[in-house]
Structure 1
Amino acid sequence: MANTEDYNAKLAEIEAIPNEEVKDPGMPVDVALQEAENLYHWSLDDTEKLGVVGIRRTQIEDLPVRAGACREAQSIWNKDFRSQQQAQEEWAEQAPLAYEFKTDLLASMRFAYRKNDALLSRVSAIADGSGHADMIQDLNDIAVLGRENPDPLTAISFDLAQLDEAATLADTLADLLAEANGDKADPNESKIVRDKAYLHMKELVDEIREAGKYVFRKDPKRLKGYSSDYWRKIHRKQKNNDEDADS
């Protein structure tokens, strides 16, 4: 079964997990996925013995399905996270140019409308305020004001096409800022689903491992397949560091 099919098959169970039970994975997800796959193949050979302590074959066969669902959820989360990062990078490039464009437009308007107090007052109102959202709104307001009062701008050889550019830029930057802030497509939602999918997989991994450790407690050759190689290496490294510190 493909990862997408696994994900769709398990999504209802995954989403049913209460949010308060969800934690960040305690180990790299790609490592956990590989260990789950390894456990599946290892425990298949012990189906009969594991069955004696209550681990059914259907549970073992469910392990790669849960792993596939988790792998797909991880891919979705990675895609959303990268999209937000890309938007942040693009915003960092475009925002300074937009601020400079706004400053130039306001300078042209102040000069063009210098003999009209009412229009100068509107320019000053647009210039007030700060922040990204204000800058985006200012670009649109500049476009509106310029379109309503084009003659003084034309008199100073101002390119009226810049007004259309300002309006278009305002729309583009509004979408980009929403993506950069994670407001448009919240990657946190896909992270929650990823974390739930990981927990769903881990629960079964833990259950099979606990049973295997009990059944094969006197059989080192089979026992080794029911522990995490990742954590075994972490503990070994920590022990070596402690020994080095004591020496």
Structure 2
Amino acid sequence: MANIDDYNATLAEIQAIPNEEVKEPGMPVDIALQEAENLHHWSLDDADQLQVVGVTNKMIEDLAIRAGACREAQSIWNKDSRSQQEAQKQWGIQSPLAYDFRNDLLASLRFAYRKDDALLSRVSAITDGGGHADMIQDLNDIAVLGRENPDPLTAIGFELDQLVLAATRADELADLLAEANGDKADPNESKMVRDKAYIHMKELVDEIREAGKYVFRKDPKRLKGYSSEYWRKLHRKQKNNDEDAE
């Protein structure tokens, strides 16, 4: 099956894992995925011996499915995470321009409405508050106030199309800020699913490895396929560093 099919087939099992059992993966997920797929192929050759200690052919095949599901979950999280990062980058570019636009509009409104205390009071009310969300609301409020009172604006040569642009930018910036804050396509949600998919895969990886280490404890050639190359390299590196330090 394709990764997406593996993901859809096991999503209910993955989501059933309690949130409190979720931990950060103990190794890079891309490496864990490759090791799980390697273990699948390695254990296929030992299926008869593993069957004796309770590792069935179905479990071996299921490992490939769990790895495919985890790989798809990783891709989904990467996509959501990149989307948020890109939104944050765009917000960093667009928000200063939006603040300048808001300030220019307010200056025009103050001048246009300078002889009308009631309208000036409404302009002052728009300037209350601070922060990104307030700036976005300001743009929309400016658009509403300007549309309701266009004559003083046209009298000073103000282009009313700017009010349409202010309302449009308010909508666009609200969406962008939500994405930048992770409030829309929430990468935390997709990360939770990814972490659960990792747990789901690792449970079977650990079970097959444990069985393989027992069955082939006297056969070094087959035994090596039931341990993590990542951790072996890490331990060798740590050992060499310790020896160098001594």
TM-score by length of 1: 0.98
Once the two structures are superposed, what CA deviation does each residue of 1:81-108 show, in whole Å capped at 9, x if it has no partner? Answer: 1111111111111100000000000011
- How does 1:1-247 map onto structure 2 within 5 Å? 1-246=1-246
% identical aligned pairs: 82
Provide the rounded CA distance (Å) in 2 between the counterparts of 1:202 and 1:76: 19
- 1:35 partner SS: helix
**CA positional deviation for 1:61:** 1.1
> Unmatched 5+ residue regions in structure 1?
none
Provide the rounded CA distance (Å) in 2 between the counterparts of 1:122 and 1:9: 57
- 1:115 partner SS: coil
Q: Hey, which bits of structure 1, 4+ residues long, moved more than 4 A?
A: none
**CA positional deviation for 1:122:** 0.7
**CA positional deviation for 1:128:** 1.4
Provide the rounded CA distance (Å) in 2 between the counterparts of 1:136 and 1:160: 19
Give the paired residue count. 246
Partner AA of 1:35 in structure 2: E
Provide the rounded CA distance (Å) in 2 between the counterparts of 1:184 and 1:40: 37
- 2:25 partner SS: coil
- 2:73 partner SS: helix
Provide the rounded CA distance (Å) in 2 between the counterparts of 1:161 and 1:8: 48
> Unmatched 5+ residue regions in structure 2?
none
**CA positional deviation for 1:187:** 1.2
**CA positional deviation for 1:45:** 1.0
Partner AA of 1:68 in structure 2: G
**CA positional deviation for 1:48:** 1.1
**CA positional deviation for 1:176:** 0.7
- 2:233 partner SS: helix
Provide the rounded CA distance (Å) in 1 between the counterparts of 2:185 and 2:57: 40
